[in-house]
Amino acid sequence: MGQFQDSVALVTGGSSGIGRATALAFAREGARVVVAARGLERGNDTLHEIQAAAGTALFVQADVSRAGDVQKMIQETVTAFGRLDCAFNNAASLEEPFALTADFTEEQFDRSIALNLKSVWLCMQQEIRQMLAQNPPGGVIVNTSSVNGLGGVPQAACYAAAKAGILGLTKSAALEYAQQGIRVNALVPGGFHTPMLDNVFERVSGGDPDARQTVVKRYEAMVALGRIGRPEEAAQAVLWLCSPAASYVTGHSMIVDGGWTAPMR
């Protein structure tokens, strides 16, 4: 019997990268998993992969930067599985161009904050309401920040601000709802092999394969463990934070970065 047997776990951005690895890991541990993302094809692929391994899952097509979609996502979760025990608010996208702080347009700023910060708050709002209302009440929330939210990031101020904001949301909610049985923590990833990081490498290297290899090598050299992480390694941290083994952990920002930021802390 898996350690999340009979639990209900929601993973936003569950169709790719860290979210997908976490959805699969929850399902392997017996959770009934709700995978949420905008794109139907990758969402259904993840759903089918879980079902092919005898797991139980539901795919909900939702844009988590839209309040109506988030409300629908929680309603569909509860209709299908009756409650919500673990919520991994992980969806994000890096759409804006790399630009200096003064060069972003107001639209780019608003879009980045909507996709990467407001979305997490919208999810937390609905999840907390559900966790307080259900019987028995309570649950665990993990929000994905980034090492980019710990320090400044030249050419990505909006993304960095959103990821720093997630830490504020996480710690505030952890304090507010601790007595009501809801733990709230943040995953703070370093570099992980996912489509998002691939896209960053592509943009930084201008699509030149040699330049890309140099960029990747330079990146790996900054990491104490000497390599970029596998999404499954981030997933294991999320599962631990959601598990009873972490029953005394709330308001925590768990850095999982292969030691990348250790010299700066």
Ligand X SMILES: NC(=O)c1ccc[n+]([C@@H]2O[C@H](COP(=O)([O-])OP(=O)(O)OC[C@H]3O[C@@H](n4cnc5c(N)ncnc54)[C@H](OP(=O)(O)O)[C@@H]3O)[C@@H](O)[C@H]2O)c1
Residue 206's contacts (CB-CB under 8 Å, 6 or more residues apart) are none
d(CA 169, CA 172): 5
Q: How far is the CB of 119 from ligand X (least distance, A)?
A: 6
Residue choice 10, 17, 122, 126 for contact with ligand X (CB under 6 A)? 17
H or E element that contains 25: helix 17-28
Contact between 84 and ligand X per CB under 6 A: no
Tell me whether residue 43 or residue 139 sits nearer to ligand X (CB atom): 43
Q: Is 233 in the site for ligand X (CB under 6 A)?
A: no
Q: How many residues bind ligand X (CB under 6 A)?
A: 31
Query: Rounded to 5 degrees, what are φ and ψ at 76?
Result: -65, -35
Smallest gap, in angstroms, from Cβ of residue 173 to ligand X? 17
Helix crossing, 17-28 with 231-242: angle to 10°?
Answer: 50
How far is the CA of 66 from the CAs of 119, 120, 247, in angstroms?
Answer: 7, 11, 32
Tell me: does residue 232 bind ligand X (CB under 6 A): no
- Our answer to whether residue 248 is catalytic in this structure is no
- Please classify residue 98 by burial: count the beta carbons closer than 10 Å to its beta carbon, then call 0-12 exposed, 13-18 middle and 19+ buried: middle
Q: Choose between 36 and 237: whose C-beta lies nearer to ligand X.
A: 36
Q: Which member of 92, 124, 156, 239 binds ligand X (CB under 6 A)?
A: 92
The distance of closest approach from Cβ of residue 241 to ligand X in the complex, given in angstroms and rounded to an integer, is: 14
Distance CA 89, CA 10 (A): 8
Return d(Cα 234, Cα 241) in angstroms, integer: 11
Q: Closest CB to ligand X among 113 and 248?
A: 113
| Alpha-carbon separation of residue 8 from 4, 29, 165 (angstroms) | 8, 11, 27
Residue of minimal CB distance from ligand X? 17
196 counts as binding ligand X under rule CB under 6 A? yes
Kindly give, in sequence order, each residue whose CB lies less than 8 Å from that of residue 106, ignoring residues fewer than 6 positions away.
none
Name the β-bridge partners of 36: 12, 60
Residue 63 makes contact with ligand X by CB under 6 A: yes
Binding mask 29-48 for ligand X (x = CB under 6 A): -------xxxx--x------
57 near ligand X (CB under 6 A):
no
Any contact of residue 195 with ligand X (CB under 6 A)? yes
| Position 186 contacts ligand X (CB under 6 A) | no
Least distance to ligand X, CB of residue 146, Å: 3
Q: Which residues are catalytic?
A: 159
> By the criterion CB under 6 A, which residues form the site for ligand X?
12-13, 15-19, 36-39, 42, 62-65, 90-93, 115, 119, 144, 146, 189, 191-192, 194-197
